[in-house]
Amino acid sequence: MCDVLRSIAVYSGGKFDFIIFVRYLMGTAYLPTTLHRIGYHFFSLIVPKSNLMFFLDVSPSEAYRRSILRGKPLEMFETIEKLEKIRKKALALALEDNWIIINTDKPIEEAQSRIRQFILQELKTT
């Protein structure tokens, strides 16, 4: 939480074209089911939001495969079961708040291309 508040203090109100906040809102999916929506809505009040909020979706099996390939000990939430549970909660939040969902099971170049398309489209309308 301190990291979130520090980032907001440093970057809010500045003259930046793009600000990327990684996991601050969707990190609430790791909270217990009874709290994750409350946490999400609380943080969505204080974290800068945009017309372009991307949810980089990855299937639990692909996330697990990538975790194994990393070659480091797995975190406690990196089991197929927990990845499924967290993804389900995060995806529900993304759908509820109109995030742009990008399938990242595909090659990274495809995801990058989709994100660029949305950014270019947004720049043309502003």
Spans of all domains in the chain:
2-125
C-alpha triplet 27, 33, 37: angle, nearest 5°: 60
What's the DSSP call for residue 55? Answer: E
Domain boundaries 2-125, corresponding CATH code: 3.40.50.300
pLDDT tens for residues 91-100? Answer: 999 999 889 9
8 Å CB contact between 104 and 111: yes
pTM for this prediction: 0.81
pLDDT tens for residues 48-59? Answer: 777 888 999 999
